[in-house]
Amino acid sequence: MKINRSIRMGIGVMAIAVVASACGGAGEQRSALQSASDGSLVVGIKYDQPGLGLRNPDGSFSGFDVEVAKYVADKLGVAPENITFKESPSAQRETLIENGEVDFVAATYSITDARKESVDFAGPYFVAGQSLLVKSDNADITGPESLNDGKKLCSVSGSTPAQTVKDKYAHDVQLQEFDTYSACVEALRNGAVDAVTTDDIILAGYAAQYPGELKVVGEPFTEERYGIGVAKGDAEARSQINDAIDEMIADGSWERAFNDTVGASGYQLPTPPTVDRY
Ligand code: GLU
């Protein structure tokens, strides 16, 4: 009797394990539209980028990427309370999509040909540009050309700014790659590095967090087109998310979301991009 029951329980546990792995553990990529029609979405965002993707101390989420994700989810029929946000560090975004751990990624995620080998992108919903963050009293770093004499520069592994530094400026600068930009910002504040590089809109958020201590310098020197990453080959999800982005721009929600999030940093509202239906 007792043995039978433990066997039954064992089978039950196995059944739960099978269901869990079918729902996308280390498994196959998900279909965002299927998840949405089942009533919920898992969305990859950043947790440490003020103004863009931030997990607040009370467990809530804020930022422009969060607002874009909520707008898109709403257009796919999913209410904000049915979105589960998942932290998506730069180097893990393709893998999270490929393994089906997220339905889509809205995480300052530049559309690139290299990334398009493993995922697809809706968007762009924003265009930023790579820039530099230094201490406010720094006078000798004014742009990428001044990153010489072995200056210590921090960026994030798996990001396009780190790649650009390796491709173009590696002979002059010592690049240190961390997992997150907030770790780079701490290294800058405590003097372990001379500058942080990534997109200007991200750096503006950190400069606003530490006014009088950090500043963004120089003109942006790349173009970073932010897309929403979806499973490769999911043309229908991409098309519906593109429609949602178009509507977000057209109905004024895009500008409102920008002003309510990034706006606080003083970053100027740009003209919205046109989605690329490649
Ligand atoms: N937009 C760049 C990228 O996708 C830098 C920002 C980031 O790492 O999230 O790599």
Q: How confident is the model at residue 24 (pLDDT cuts 50, 70, 90)?
A: very low
DSSP line for 83-143: EEEEE--GGGHHHHHHTTS-SEE-SS-B--HHHHTTEEEEEEEEEE-EEEEEETT--S--S
| DSSP structural state of residue 24 | T
Closest residue by Cα to atom 1, ligand 1, is 110
First-to-final CA distance of the chain: 63
Cα 25 to ligand 1 centroid, rounded to whole Å: 25
For residue 159, pLDDT beyond 90 = yes
For ligand 1, mutation pick of 54, 112, 133, 160 (most atoms within 8 Å of CB):
160
Ligand 1 contact via 199 beta carbon (within 6 Å): yes
Q: Which residues pair with 85 in a beta bridge?
A: 43
Structural domains for the chain:
29-127+225-265 (3.40.190.10), 130-217 (3.40.190.10)
- The pLDDT value given to residue 21: 42
For residue 29, pLDDT beyond 90 = no
Residue 175 host element (H or E): strand 173-178
Contact partners, residue 256, CB within 8 Å, separation at least 6: none
Cα 111 to ligand 1 centroid, rounded to whole Å: 9
For residue 3, pLDDT beyond 60 = no
Summarised one tens digit per residue, pLDDT across range 161-216 is: 999 999 998 888 999 999 999 999 999 999 999 999 999 999 999 999 999 999 99
Q: Are 129 and 200 in contact (CB under 8 A)?
A: yes
